[in-house]
Amino acid sequence: MTYELAIGDRTYSSWSLRGWLLFDPFNIPVRVCSARMYSPEFKALLADFAPARLVPAMKTPAGDVVYETLAMAETLAETHPDTDFWPQEPAARAFARSISAEMHSGFGALRSACTMNLRCAFQGFQPDVAVLADLARIEFLWSLARDRFGASGPWLFGDWSVADVFFAPVATRIATYQLPVGKLAQTYVAAHLGHPSLRRWRALGVAENYIQPGYDLDLPELPWPGPALLTAKPIAAGPSENAICPYSGRPVTDFLELDGRVFGFCNPTCRDKTVADPMAWPAFVKIYQK
Ligand SMILES: N[C@@H](CCC(=O)N[C@@H](CS)C(=O)NCC(=O)O)C(=O)O
Protein backbone atom coordinates (compact mmCIF):
# COMPACT_ATOMS: atom_id res chain seq x y z
CA MET A 1 0.00 0.00 0.00
CA THR A 2 1.12 3.52 -0.72
CA TYR A 3 -0.27 7.01 -0.20
CA GLU A 4 -3.10 8.20 -2.43
CA LEU A 5 -3.51 11.87 -3.28
CA ALA A 6 -6.69 13.46 -4.65
CA ILE A 7 -6.10 16.50 -6.84
CA GLY A 8 -7.97 18.80 -9.25
CA ASP A 9 -6.67 20.48 -12.41
CA ARG A 10 -2.90 20.68 -12.47
CA THR A 11 -2.89 23.97 -14.35
CA TYR A 12 -5.25 25.83 -12.05
CA SER A 13 -5.44 24.20 -8.63
CA SER A 14 -2.82 25.80 -6.42
CA TRP A 15 -3.70 23.67 -3.42
CA SER A 16 -3.41 20.51 -5.50
CA LEU A 17 0.07 21.63 -6.53
CA ARG A 18 0.98 22.05 -2.87
CA GLY A 19 -0.32 18.54 -2.18
CA TRP A 20 1.92 17.10 -4.89
CA LEU A 21 4.92 19.11 -3.69
CA LEU A 22 4.55 17.43 -0.30
CA PHE A 23 5.38 14.12 -2.01
CA ASP A 24 7.49 14.38 -5.15
CA PRO A 25 10.42 16.54 -3.93
CA PHE A 26 10.60 14.51 -0.71
CA ASN A 27 10.69 11.21 -2.65
CA ILE A 28 7.57 9.86 -0.96
CA PRO A 29 5.78 7.50 -3.39
CA VAL A 30 2.15 8.41 -4.04
CA ARG A 31 -0.67 7.35 -6.35
CA VAL A 32 -2.35 10.46 -7.76
CA CYS A 33 -6.12 10.42 -8.38
CA SER A 34 -7.32 13.44 -10.35
CA ALA A 35 -10.59 14.84 -11.62
CA ARG A 36 -11.64 17.99 -13.43
CA MET A 37 -12.72 20.53 -10.81
CA TYR A 38 -16.42 21.40 -10.52
CA SER A 39 -17.37 18.23 -12.46
CA PRO A 40 -19.47 15.26 -11.28
CA GLU A 41 -16.24 13.21 -11.37
CA PHE A 42 -14.68 15.66 -8.89
CA LYS A 43 -17.55 15.05 -6.46
CA ALA A 44 -17.17 11.30 -6.92
CA LEU A 45 -13.43 11.52 -6.32
CA LEU A 46 -13.94 13.44 -3.09
CA ALA A 47 -16.64 11.04 -1.95
CA ASP A 48 -13.88 8.45 -1.89
CA PHE A 49 -11.84 10.77 0.36
CA ALA A 50 -14.70 11.67 2.73
CA PRO A 51 -14.97 13.71 4.86
CA ALA A 52 -12.67 15.93 2.75
CA ARG A 53 -14.59 18.52 0.74
CA LEU A 54 -11.69 20.08 -1.16
CA VAL A 55 -8.46 18.99 -2.80
CA PRO A 56 -5.82 18.08 -1.95
CA ALA A 57 -6.75 15.20 0.29
CA MET A 58 -4.69 12.13 0.96
CA LYS A 59 -5.09 8.58 2.20
CA THR A 60 -2.29 7.12 4.24
CA PRO A 61 -1.11 3.57 3.50
CA ALA A 62 -3.28 2.54 6.48
CA GLY A 63 -6.32 4.08 4.76
CA ASP A 64 -6.72 7.15 6.98
CA VAL A 65 -7.94 10.26 5.17
CA VAL A 66 -6.11 13.52 5.87
CA TYR A 67 -7.18 16.83 4.34
CA GLU A 68 -6.23 20.52 4.67
CA THR A 69 -2.73 20.94 3.31
CA LEU A 70 -1.16 21.94 6.59
CA ALA A 71 -2.57 18.85 8.30
CA MET A 72 -1.22 16.71 5.46
CA ALA A 73 2.22 18.29 5.88
CA GLU A 74 2.27 17.64 9.61
CA THR A 75 1.07 14.06 9.18
CA LEU A 76 3.77 13.33 6.61
CA ALA A 77 6.44 15.00 8.76
CA GLU A 78 5.41 12.93 11.76
CA THR A 79 5.24 9.69 9.75
CA HIS A 80 8.62 10.23 8.06
CA PRO A 81 10.88 11.60 10.81
CA ASP A 82 14.00 10.91 8.72
CA THR A 83 12.77 13.23 5.96
CA ASP A 84 13.29 16.94 6.61
CA PHE A 85 9.83 18.28 5.87
CA TRP A 86 10.58 21.14 8.27
CA PRO A 87 13.99 22.72 8.99
CA GLN A 88 15.99 20.94 11.69
CA GLU A 89 16.97 24.01 13.71
CA PRO A 90 14.21 24.94 16.20
CA ALA A 91 14.15 28.69 15.44
CA ALA A 92 14.05 28.02 11.71
CA ARG A 93 11.38 25.35 12.16
CA ALA A 94 9.23 27.69 14.26
CA PHE A 95 9.43 30.42 11.64
CA ALA A 96 8.81 27.97 8.79
CA ARG A 97 5.67 26.77 10.56
CA SER A 98 4.54 30.34 11.19
CA ILE A 99 4.85 31.55 7.63
CA SER A 100 3.33 28.36 6.21
CA ALA A 101 0.32 28.85 8.49
CA GLU A 102 0.12 32.52 7.46
CA MET A 103 0.07 31.42 3.82
CA HIS A 104 -2.51 28.75 4.55
CA SER A 105 -4.95 31.26 6.00
CA GLY A 106 -3.94 34.55 4.41
CA PHE A 107 -3.07 36.62 1.36
CA GLY A 108 -6.66 36.58 0.13
CA ALA A 109 -6.27 39.64 -2.10
CA LEU A 110 -3.39 38.10 -4.05
CA ARG A 111 -5.09 34.73 -4.24
CA SER A 112 -8.37 36.02 -5.58
CA ALA A 113 -6.98 38.64 -7.98
CA CYS A 114 -4.31 36.33 -9.38
CA THR A 115 -5.62 32.78 -9.54
CA MET A 116 -2.92 30.26 -10.29
CA ASN A 117 -2.52 29.64 -13.98
CA LEU A 118 0.40 27.53 -15.18
CA ARG A 119 -0.54 27.75 -18.87
CA CYS A 120 1.12 31.07 -19.70
CA ALA A 121 1.97 34.55 -18.39
CA PHE A 122 -0.17 37.67 -18.89
CA GLN A 123 0.93 41.10 -20.02
CA GLY A 124 -0.39 44.30 -18.45
CA PHE A 125 -1.95 43.01 -15.21
CA GLN A 126 -2.39 45.94 -12.79
CA PRO A 127 -2.26 44.84 -9.14
CA ASP A 128 -4.46 46.88 -6.80
CA VAL A 129 -3.43 48.27 -3.41
CA ALA A 130 -4.53 45.15 -1.52
CA VAL A 131 -2.52 42.86 -3.80
CA LEU A 132 0.53 45.10 -3.42
CA ALA A 133 0.14 44.99 0.37
CA ASP A 134 0.04 41.15 0.28
CA LEU A 135 3.15 41.16 -1.91
CA ALA A 136 4.99 43.52 0.44
CA ARG A 137 4.25 41.24 3.39
CA ILE A 138 5.32 38.15 1.42
CA GLU A 139 8.59 39.79 0.37
CA PHE A 140 9.22 40.79 3.98
CA LEU A 141 8.70 37.20 5.18
CA TRP A 142 10.80 35.74 2.38
CA SER A 143 13.70 38.08 3.09
CA LEU A 144 13.57 37.34 6.83
CA ALA A 145 13.70 33.61 6.14
CA ARG A 146 16.43 33.86 3.49
CA ASP A 147 18.59 36.27 5.50
CA ARG A 148 18.37 34.37 8.78
CA PHE A 149 18.11 30.76 7.70
CA GLY A 150 18.69 30.42 3.94
CA ALA A 151 22.47 30.13 3.66
CA SER A 152 22.61 26.43 2.68
CA GLY A 153 20.60 26.67 -0.56
CA PRO A 154 18.14 28.62 -2.73
CA TRP A 155 15.03 27.91 -0.67
CA LEU A 156 13.51 29.94 2.17
CA PHE A 157 15.32 27.88 4.79
CA GLY A 158 18.19 26.82 2.57
CA ASP A 159 16.99 23.30 1.80
CA TRP A 160 13.54 22.57 0.37
CA SER A 161 10.90 22.48 3.12
CA VAL A 162 7.15 22.69 3.66
CA ALA A 163 7.47 26.49 3.64
CA ASP A 164 8.54 26.35 -0.01
CA VAL A 165 5.65 24.01 -0.76
CA PHE A 166 3.25 26.62 0.60
CA PHE A 167 4.77 29.50 -1.33
CA ALA A 168 5.31 27.70 -4.66
CA PRO A 169 2.00 28.90 -6.18
CA VAL A 170 2.76 32.44 -4.95
CA ALA A 171 6.03 32.25 -6.86
CA THR A 172 4.24 31.16 -10.04
CA ARG A 173 1.71 33.97 -9.63
CA ILE A 174 4.48 36.56 -9.34
CA ALA A 175 5.95 35.19 -12.56
CA THR A 176 2.77 34.75 -14.58
CA TYR A 177 1.15 38.07 -13.61
CA GLN A 178 4.51 39.89 -13.80
CA LEU A 179 4.03 41.26 -10.30
CA PRO A 180 6.55 43.87 -9.15
CA VAL A 181 8.99 42.37 -6.64
CA GLY A 182 12.62 42.96 -5.67
CA LYS A 183 15.72 40.97 -6.50
CA LEU A 184 15.53 38.48 -3.62
CA ALA A 185 11.96 37.52 -4.53
CA GLN A 186 12.79 37.33 -8.24
CA THR A 187 15.62 34.91 -7.52
CA TYR A 188 13.40 32.79 -5.30
CA VAL A 189 10.65 32.76 -7.94
CA ALA A 190 13.15 31.61 -10.58
CA ALA A 191 14.23 28.75 -8.30
CA HIS A 192 10.61 27.57 -8.13
CA LEU A 193 10.09 27.77 -11.90
CA GLY A 194 13.19 25.63 -12.39
CA HIS A 195 12.27 23.03 -9.76
CA PRO A 196 12.04 19.61 -11.47
CA SER A 197 8.85 18.63 -9.60
CA LEU A 198 7.11 21.86 -10.57
CA ARG A 199 8.25 21.49 -14.18
CA ARG A 200 6.85 17.95 -14.35
CA TRP A 201 3.59 19.00 -12.72
CA ARG A 202 3.16 21.86 -15.17
CA ALA A 203 4.03 19.64 -18.16
CA LEU A 204 1.35 17.15 -17.13
CA GLY A 205 -1.15 20.03 -16.88
CA VAL A 206 -0.20 21.38 -20.31
CA ALA A 207 -0.54 17.86 -21.73
CA GLU A 208 -4.16 17.82 -20.51
CA ASN A 209 -4.72 20.81 -22.80
CA TYR A 210 -7.72 22.06 -20.83
CA ILE A 211 -8.76 25.67 -20.29
CA GLN A 212 -10.82 26.14 -17.12
CA PRO A 213 -13.53 28.76 -17.79
CA GLY A 214 -12.99 31.95 -15.78
CA TYR A 215 -9.34 31.35 -14.96
CA ASP A 216 -7.82 33.20 -17.92
CA LEU A 217 -7.61 36.99 -17.93
CA ASP A 218 -8.61 39.06 -20.91
CA LEU A 219 -5.02 40.21 -21.38
CA PRO A 220 -2.35 39.43 -23.98
CA GLU A 221 -0.66 36.12 -23.27
CA LEU A 222 3.08 35.70 -22.96
CA PRO A 223 5.12 32.50 -23.16
CA TRP A 224 5.78 30.50 -20.01
CA PRO A 225 8.28 32.51 -17.92
CA GLY A 226 10.22 29.48 -16.61
CA PRO A 227 13.42 27.98 -18.03
CA ALA A 228 13.49 27.98 -21.86
CA LEU A 229 11.54 25.03 -23.26
CA LEU A 230 12.88 22.87 -26.08
CA THR A 231 10.54 22.92 -29.05
CA ALA A 232 9.13 19.45 -29.54
CA LYS A 233 6.01 18.62 -31.55
CA PRO A 234 3.73 15.58 -31.74
CA ILE A 235 3.84 13.71 -35.03
CA ALA A 236 1.49 11.06 -36.39
CA ALA A 237 3.91 8.23 -37.06
CA GLY A 238 7.40 6.82 -36.46
CA PRO A 239 9.72 5.12 -36.83
CA SER A 240 11.52 6.42 -33.75
CA GLU A 241 15.08 6.08 -32.50
CA ASN A 242 13.81 4.15 -29.48
CA ALA A 243 11.72 1.00 -29.79
CA ILE A 244 10.51 1.03 -26.20
CA CYS A 245 8.94 3.82 -24.15
CA PRO A 246 11.47 5.52 -21.82
CA TYR A 247 8.88 5.58 -19.04
CA SER A 248 7.20 2.16 -19.16
CA GLY A 249 9.51 -0.06 -21.20
CA ARG A 250 6.53 -0.98 -23.44
CA PRO A 251 6.58 -0.83 -27.30
CA VAL A 252 6.11 2.68 -28.71
CA THR A 253 2.87 3.82 -30.36
CA ASP A 254 2.94 7.65 -30.10
CA PHE A 255 5.66 9.93 -31.45
CA LEU A 256 7.27 13.35 -31.16
CA GLU A 257 9.89 15.23 -33.13
CA LEU A 258 12.65 17.22 -31.47
CA ASP A 259 15.71 18.66 -33.22
CA GLY A 260 14.83 16.66 -36.33
CA ARG A 261 14.89 13.42 -34.31
CA VAL A 262 11.89 11.18 -33.62
CA PHE A 263 11.17 9.60 -30.23
CA GLY A 264 8.40 7.19 -29.30
CA PHE A 265 6.19 6.59 -26.25
CA CYS A 266 3.64 4.00 -25.22
CA ASN A 267 0.66 6.37 -24.94
CA PRO A 268 -0.38 9.92 -25.92
CA THR A 269 -0.11 11.30 -22.34
CA CYS A 270 3.53 10.28 -22.00
CA ARG A 271 4.23 11.76 -25.43
CA ASP A 272 2.37 15.01 -24.68
CA LYS A 273 3.91 15.61 -21.25
CA THR A 274 7.30 15.24 -22.95
CA VAL A 275 6.33 17.66 -25.72
CA ALA A 276 5.31 20.17 -23.03
CA ASP A 277 8.75 20.19 -21.37
CA PRO A 278 11.21 17.58 -22.71
CA MET A 279 13.98 18.37 -20.22
CA ALA A 280 11.70 17.88 -17.20
CA TRP A 281 11.75 14.11 -17.59
CA PRO A 282 15.00 12.35 -16.61
CA ALA A 283 14.08 9.08 -18.37
CA PHE A 284 13.54 10.99 -21.63
CA VAL A 285 16.65 13.16 -21.16
CA LYS A 286 18.64 9.92 -20.89
CA ILE A 287 17.64 8.74 -24.38
CA TYR A 288 17.73 12.29 -25.86
CA GLN A 289 21.30 12.89 -24.67
CA LYS A 290 22.55 9.41 -25.58
N1 LIG B 1 -7.60 25.12 3.01
C2 LIG B 1 -7.63 24.09 1.99
C3 LIG B 1 -7.86 24.77 0.65
C4 LIG B 1 -8.18 23.78 -0.45
C5 LIG B 1 -8.85 24.39 -1.65
O6 LIG B 1 -9.33 25.54 -1.63
N7 LIG B 1 -8.96 23.60 -2.74
C8 LIG B 1 -9.62 24.01 -3.94
C9 LIG B 1 -8.73 23.76 -5.15
S10 LIG B 1 -7.38 24.87 -5.31
C11 LIG B 1 -10.85 23.14 -4.21
O12 LIG B 1 -10.87 21.98 -3.84
N13 LIG B 1 -11.86 23.69 -4.89
C14 LIG B 1 -13.01 22.97 -5.26
C15 LIG B 1 -14.29 23.59 -4.83
O16 LIG B 1 -14.26 24.71 -4.31
O17 LIG B 1 -15.33 22.95 -5.05
C18 LIG B 1 -6.30 23.31 2.05
O19 LIG B 1 -5.37 23.74 2.70
O20 LIG B 1 -6.20 22.21 1.49
134, 64: one domain = no
> Do the domain assignments include residue 204?
no
Q: Would you state the pLDDT for residue 57?
A: 98
66, 140: one domain = no
99, 145: one domain = yes
> Do the domain assignments include residue 263?
yes
35, 69: one domain = yes
Tens digit of pLDDT for each residue in 150-165?
999 999 999 999 999 9
236, 154: one domain = no
> Do the domain assignments include residue 153?
yes
Average pLDDT over residues 62-66: 97
Q: Give the DSSP per-residue string, 68-106.
A: SHHHHHHHHHHH-TTS-SS-SSHHHHHHHHHHHHHHHH-
- Type of residue at 73: A
113 — pLDDT class (breaks 50, 70, 90): very high
pTM: 0.96
| Residue to substitute in 54, 65, 75, 173 for testing ligand 1 pocket (most ligand atoms within 8 angstroms of CB) | 54
Residue whose CA lies nearest to ligand 1 atom number 20: 68
CATH code of the domain covering residue 64: 3.40.30.10
191, 270: one domain = no
Atom of ligand 1 nearest to the CA of 70: 19
> Do the domain assignments include residue 145?
yes
Q: Would you state the pLDDT for residue 44?
A: 97
CATH code of the domain covering residue 108: 1.20.1050.10
Q: Across the chain, where does the E strand assignment appear?
A: 3-7, 30-34, 57-59, 65-67, 121-122, 221-222, 232-235, 254-258, 261-265
Range of the domain at 185: 90-199
Q: How many domains does the chain have?
A: 3
266, 195: one domain = no
Q: Would you state the pLDDT for residue 67?
A: 98
Residue 215 has pLDDT above 90, yes or no: no
> Do the domain assignments include residue 8?
yes
Work out the mean pLDDT of the chain and round it to a whole number. 96
Domain boundary among 31, 55, 79: 79
122, 176: one domain = yes
Residue whose CA lies nearest to ligand 1 atom number 14: 54
Tens digit of pLDDT for each residue in 4-58?
999 999 999 999 999 999 999 999 999 999 999 999 999 999 999 999 999 999 9
Q: Would you state the pLDDT for residue 216?
A: 82
> Do the domain assignments include residue 163?
yes
| Dist CA 37 CA 160 (whole Å) | 29
Residue 92 has pLDDT above 90, yes or no: yes
Tens digit of pLDDT for each residue in 274-285?
999 999 999 999
> Do the domain assignments include residue 253?
yes
> Do the domain assignments include residue 214?
no
What is the 8-class DSSP label of residue 155? B
Percentage of the chain modeled with pLDDT above 70: 100
Tens digit of pLDDT for each residue in 162-213?
999 999 999 999 999 999 999 999 999 999 999 999 999 999 999 998 888 8
73, 96: one domain = no
102, 193: one domain = yes
